[in-house]
Every structure is written in C-alpha cells, then in structure tokens.
Amino acid sequence: MIQDDKANGVFAPPKLKAKPLALDTFRENVVLLSRACIALRPARLAGLRKVELRVGGHGVLASPMICDDDTVVAADEIGLPQPLLRRLGVAPGGFVEIAPARPARSFDAVRAKVLGETLSAADYGAIARDLADHRLSDIEVAAFLVACAGFMTADETLDFTRAMVEAGSRLDWDRGLVVDKHCIGGVPGNRTSLIVTPIVAAHGLLMPKTSSRAITSPAGTADTMEVLARVDLSELEMRAVVERCGACIAWGGRVNLSPADDVLISVERPLAIDTPEQMVASILSKKLAAGSNHLVLDVPVGPTAKIRDRRSALKLKKLFEYVGGRLGLSLEVLITEALQPIGRGIGPVLEARDVRAVLACAPDAPADLKEKSILLAGRVLEADPALAGGQGQARARELLESGAARRKMDEIIAAQGPSPIHEGLGELRHEIHAPRDGVVAAVDCLRIATIARLAGAPTDPGAGLDLLARIGDRVRAGQPLYRLHASEPSDFSFAVEAAEHDSGVGLAA
C-alpha cells in the first residue's frame, strides 16, 4: 500500500504511529504489527524475514511479528520494543515509515563464498555494510561464517577487517600514540585488562579501553568492570572520561564500533565458531575503530585453552601481524602459558574482588594475576619513546606497588559513574571436595568455565566459583577444591550436578 504525500507532490512509503512496548529484545530488531495493519497487509509479509523502517533519514531493518489484540497494537500503530525505539530515535506517537525490506546487496557474494570462491574487497565491503544494517538473516550469516571457516585467505581476512572498520564509527583521539591491550580469551579469570589499564594511564599514556561482554566465558572484561562502575557509555561520555583520566574501561557495543562484528558474534555464539580468520577480523576491527594505533595482544596457549599448541599460536600470530601491519597498527603478540585459570575467582563479582586485591597490593592477592598484569602492562609501556628500553616491567611494578594504579582506577570508576548492578555474591554455596589424597595435576579451563556459566555467570554477576586449589598443591581427601556460588536454585542444581560428575580438577598420586 502506497500513500500519496500531497504536500510534496510525491509518493511516500506508508507511515504508522510509534507505540513503545515494555519489551527488551536484546540486539534483535523486532516490530509488532496489527493483523489489520493499514500500511502492510500481513499476507504480504508471508515469507519475508525483514521490513524496513525509517524515521527521517535514518533507517533500520526489523523482523515483523503479527498481533491479533488491538489493545496491544492498533491498525495504525507499530509496536516498538525498547532497543528498536532507541535505535530509531522516534518519540512515542511519532511517525515511522515502513516497507518490505529490499534484498541484501551482498547476497550474491555470500552465496559465492558458500560455493568456495575467493571474494574481493568490494564483496567484503558489501557484506560488512549489510551486516551492520541487519540486512542479512541469521541463516545467511551462519552460512557465511561456516563458509569462511572452511576457506578464507589472509588477504580476504585483511579485506574483511578493513570493511568492518569502515561499516561503523571510528574514534579519533588526536594523539600520536593511543595504546591498547587485548587477550583472545579462553582462560577463566584472566582479568588483566582491569589492572593494565590503570597502570598504563597512571604512567601517562592514552588507553581508551573498549571491551566486549562474555560470549562463551563466565565473564568478559565489561561484565567484570560493571561490578565496579557503569560501562554503558555513549561516545561523548567515553570521550569525557578519557579526557579526564587518560583511560576508560567501557562496553564497546554502545559506541557502534565495528557493528558488523557484533552481528557475527551473535551468530557465532550458538554455533561455537571461532576460527583464526574471524578472530583476527573481529579483534583488529574493534581496536582500529576505537582509534588505537599500538596494541599488545595476549595469546594464551594450553591444553584446555582456546589455542591448544604453540604451532597454532604461531600461525595465529603471523596472521595478526600481517593484517595489523597492512592496516597501520603497531602490534606485538605475546604467546603466554595457560595451564589453568588465572586468579581465584571465576565470575564477575569474584573476578572484580581479585582485581581489587591486586590493585590494593593486598597480601592475599592472586600472584599469577598480578605478575601477568605487570608483564602485559610493561610491554604496553615499552611503546613510550620517553621510557628507556627494557624498563617497561619495572615501571609497571612501580606504578602498581606505589598505589598510583589503584588511585587511577578509583578516578576512572568515579568518572564512569556508579555500577547499576548489585555486587553481592550468590548466597547458594557448595564446595567440591577432593575424592582422595593427591597433588593437583590439572585444572581444565573449559570445564571450569562451563560449570561457572551453569551456576549463572555472567548473567548473574554474583554467580561463579572460587578456586581453592591450584596445580602443584597437595590436597587431602575431603579438602575443598573450589566453592560454587549461585543465586537461582535451578542454576545452582545444574552447576552442582555438573561439578560432581566432572570437577575439572585432576589429581595425581
């Protein structure tokens, strides 16, 4: 149905009145239409996965749902859940143009990749734009990801990384040196970024740290930082914090950095796809979009980590260096040992506790978390031309042990604002005990992460587990190996059952 815009003498797409709905659809753009909708007949939507919405010059795609209750949404209304209402920027009662979505421009390129072809830079540019505009269905995104997992050249990875940067916002700090540190993940408790960032900022380098939330882990950097401070910062708020403190630790999803990657991640999560090529494109596109020009990258290697052997780590290192170098990023890749989780706490509140202890130089602070943070911060500080070569780690240790890093973290927390979440630990607790006397010979990172997620982390920040024994420790039968925390009885029972079946802790005689 097309309406005649008599005021302008042209035909215009049909319009509906915006009606806010008290629904949170997370990243999904979903709209509710009446079965009697005056703008689009439901029959016309059969087989369509998307409709196109426009307010002024701003447009988004959304998945339609049909409602038979006029009290929820009337024939001349469009029901907008909270995420979509914000993305459109429309006021309640304002008009929204609606039309069937045009086919994705990149569909032919996606299909070519599925058939095993090598794509051009232009192809990847079209795919990245369609991903950012939500023009590809989850089925099409999944097909593209699986095809890339089967075959993707280094030059394709380079082209896709560049395209994902260009499809979103890009921050410019007007500074010669902008540093960052990132870990590829796979090691529970590895919250070094929350210690490295204040050390580096206390030294005087600029470090606008944008981080993701957990994908398959019990906590991401943003999840743990949110226990201490607000992380959902707009670009203006983020800039104000960085100007004031020299650093921030914010959630990158709010500032539209590499939005194509956010769509890919949402599909990768249930498919458990994390190929080297996608990892490189994802991480580097985010760092370049955040305005960083010097990056220290941590690649942990261990029998139950994301990267299992040194050969795979070296291959990944070379791909990072190739793509980063071609895109003008100064990059240092550190291959680190990951035989067990870092620190003691696994889950946002417990990990925040460990970070606080290290920054406060508490006697019982996890030594492994402290030393790894000093190592990584030292490598970042080596980028400072005013610092004598080889002095990075000594300077990092000095800033941590003098209390300068803790004071800087307090400053960052105050600037970002108070945390919106409750900080308490889950009150449901259960200890997993050693079945016999022995020495802890192995701690399975993947199994420990799985049990912590079953307990409710990171959705429940106070859920997770507290490691009480580490590799090399001698334990007696009945001695606790770790303590589970949860808030929901169903999560608690799932985690206890899984831990009793396979604790993830191996003992040797």
Three-state DSSP state, 150: helix
The label of the residue with tokens 């498919």 reads 271
- Residues paired with 298 in a beta bridge: 183, 334
DSSP one-letter string for 354-377: HHHHHHTT-TTS-HHHHHHHHHHH
Closest CA to 309 of 317, 298, 301, 299: 301
* Pairing relationship of beta strands 294-301 and 330-337 according to DSSP bridges: parallel
Catalytic residue among 159, 180, 261, 274: 274
Q: Which amino acid is at 140?
A: E
Q: 9: buried, middle or exposed (CB in 10 Å: 19+, 13-18, 0-12)?
A: exposed
Assess whether 155 carries a catalytic annotation.
no
Asked whether 285 and 265 are in contact (CB, 8 A), the reply is no
User: d(Cα 370, Cα 400) in Å, to the nearest integer?
Assistant: 9
Three-state DSSP state, 463: coil
User: d(Cα 62, Cα 27) in Å, to the nearest integer?
Assistant: 11
Sign of torsion, CA 319 147 188 437? Answer: negative
User: d(Cα 441, Cα 465) in Å, to the nearest integer?
Assistant: 19
Distance of CA 78 to the CA centre of its chain: 31
- The catalytic residues are 274
